[in-house]
Structure 1
Amino acid sequence: MSQVNNDPSVNSVLSNLNVANKNKDDEKPNEMGQSAFLELMITQMNNQDPLSPQDNTEFIAQLAQFSSVEGLERLNSNFEDFSGSFMSNQALQASSLVGRSVTVPTESTQLLEGGIVNGSVDLESSAGDMRLNIYDDKGALVANVPMGAQPAGELAFRWDGQNMEVNGELLKWQGGEEPVAPGEYRFEAIATQNGESQQLDTALSANVNSVTLGDDGQLTLNLAGVGAVNLGDVKQFN
């Protein structure tokens, strides 16, 4: 697997992805090329029994068979070239993601110095008595944000370690007066739905530290405070 980040090593990753360097196989001495096949066929014609010559249809069938095999080999070669080019493009796109913020389904993320955590909760139905609890990496509750009743739909919030904004509205939260220190935090969304209190799934923003490109062309984002996440799981590019 290859890892892409925002340093000059990106060039080496792209070089390794070059199909000419990665997929070029040594010529196999036991394989028959076009010239060898034609030479063999001419030799066969020159040495055939003049009283019982080989039927022309047999030569045509051999030529057709050889042409089919050669066509398949060229098709495979073209597909390998296309696959290598596609992976190179993937690597270029991956390098542009490093340093950016993305939102993924998770309950923990990292609050950077001077940064903001963007988050969301999808409510399949209206919820009553909703609140958002935030815990530090030691499990201590640092923020308790009462949100009251919320309608069905997406509830978006932003938190900078001190101020909490929910759907564009600044809410007061029960915690310290001073902003919390940068670090990893866990978010817990609790709401009453259908008469029962339950925890809801959250999606949080996180910075892309590096990107891993697998041999199968799959991109995996390595996110600060989250870990490895498949590119297909990203909900939003911030």
Structure 2
Amino acid sequence: MSVSSVSNSPVLDELTIKDKIKDEPKSGELGQKAFLKLMITQMENQDPLSPQENTEFIAQLAQFSSVEALDSMNNKFDNLTENFVANQALQASSLVGRSVAVSSEIAQLDAGDIVAASVDVPASTNSVTVKIYAESGELLDQADLGAQGAGEMVARWNGEKLEVNGTVLEWNSSTEGGHPPGIYRMEFEASIDGEPTQLNAALSANVNSVTVGKDGVLTLNLAGIGPVKMSEVKQFN
């Protein structure tokens, strides 16, 4: 199982972007000092015969206080969101080097490792078939896994032996000694009500790295598969 260095992960780079790029002061904004200066200037230049009434003055102060409070609240909310994304990203980075299961027909077989498949069997069937293809599309092996009940069927393949629900099957691989490490495609098919039906399978894949998008979406970069959103992971192994 290959492990990528967390220190080189784009996660940490993404998390420091906002520290590197600070917002430029916006000259068009009316700050607290400018507002007070404008208010004092207004009072100094008001008509002595028709001065500003206290109620109008208090209303202006109240309006400014409301705007200032909302601005402060927005800043705190932004900081809270940034901290949440940062914590989530750091937790996700701990997945680097581990295995997860995602809906896919593609899997990478590493030396001394296995490919695990969680297959959804929608109804009891007398026959489930697995076909294993090379990355080039060539059919390498196929086997009848026998009758299966409705529910989850778990298969494990190490390039040579195939285990289904804890039982190692007696089958002959097309390659003596098993298939070498590489990218493979696995398809599962069942006979449901007499009709051949493609089954949904979640295959295992190693997490090479984790990235965080500008929208805060976490993406796992999986060996042999590529980028997959965190929300699409079916199982953490």
| Both proteins in one fold, TM over 0.5 | yes
Amino acid corresponding to residue 148 of structure 1 in structure 2: G
Q: CA deviation at 1:78?
A: 1.1
- Asked if the contact 1:14–1:88 (Cα under 8 Å) also holds between the matched residues in 2, the reply is no
Q: CA deviation at 1:143?
A: 2.4
**What residue in structure 2 maps to residue 220 of structure 1?**
219
Q: Distance in 1 between matches of 2:224 and 2:7?
A: 25
**What residue in structure 2 maps to residue 45 of structure 1?**
43
**What residue in structure 2 maps to residue 75 of structure 1?**
73
Q: CA deviation at 1:51?
A: 2.4
3-state SS, counterpart of residue 35 of structure 1: helix
Q: CA deviation at 1:72?
A: 1.7
- Asked if the contact 1:220–1:230 (Cα under 8 Å) also holds between the matched residues in 2, the reply is yes
3-state SS, counterpart of residue 181 of structure 1: coil
Q: CA deviation at 1:26?
A: 1.6
Q: Distance in 2 between matches of 1:194 and 1:15?
A: 52
Unaligned runs of 5+ in 1: none
Q: Distance in 1 between matches of 2:61 and 2:19?
A: 30
**What residue in structure 2 maps to residue 103 of structure 1?**
101
**What residue in structure 2 maps to residue 159 of structure 1?**
157
**What residue in structure 2 maps to residue 138 of structure 1?**
136
**What residue in structure 1 maps to residue 90 of structure 2?**
92
Amino acid corresponding to residue 201 of structure 1 in structure 2: N
Post-superposition, which runs of at least 4 consecutive aligned residues in structure 1 deviate over 6 A?
none
3-state SS, counterpart of residue 80 of structure 1: helix
Amino acid corresponding to residue 96 of structure 2 in structure 1: V
- Asked if the contact 2:14–2:212 (Cα under 8 Å) also holds between the matched residues in 1, the reply is no
- Asked if the contact 2:92–2:210 (Cα under 8 Å) also holds between the matched residues in 1, the reply is yes
**What residue in structure 2 maps to residue 13 of structure 1?**
13
**What residue in structure 2 maps to residue 148 of structure 1?**
146
Greater share of residues in strand:
1
Match of 1:120 among 113, 118, 121: 118
Q: TM-score, normalised by structure 1?
A: 0.90
- Single out whichever of 160-169 and 132-141 deviates more from structure 2: 132-141
Q: TM-score, normalised by structure 2?
A: 0.90
3-state SS, counterpart of residue 91 of structure 2: helix
- Asked if the contact 1:143–1:173 (Cα under 8 Å) also holds between the matched residues in 2, the reply is no
Question: What do you get for the CA RMSD once the two structures are aligned?
Answer: 1.9
- Single out whichever of 103-112 and 118-127 deviates more from structure 2: 118-127
The reply to whether residue 180 of structure 1 matches residue 179 of structure 2 is yes
Deviations for 1:73-115, whole angstroms, at most 9, x for unmatched residues?
Answer: 1122112211221222132123211111110000011000001
Q: Distance in 2 between matches of 1:14 and 1:90?
A: 13
**CA shift in 2, pair 1:135/1:9, >3 Å:** closer
Number of equivalences: 232
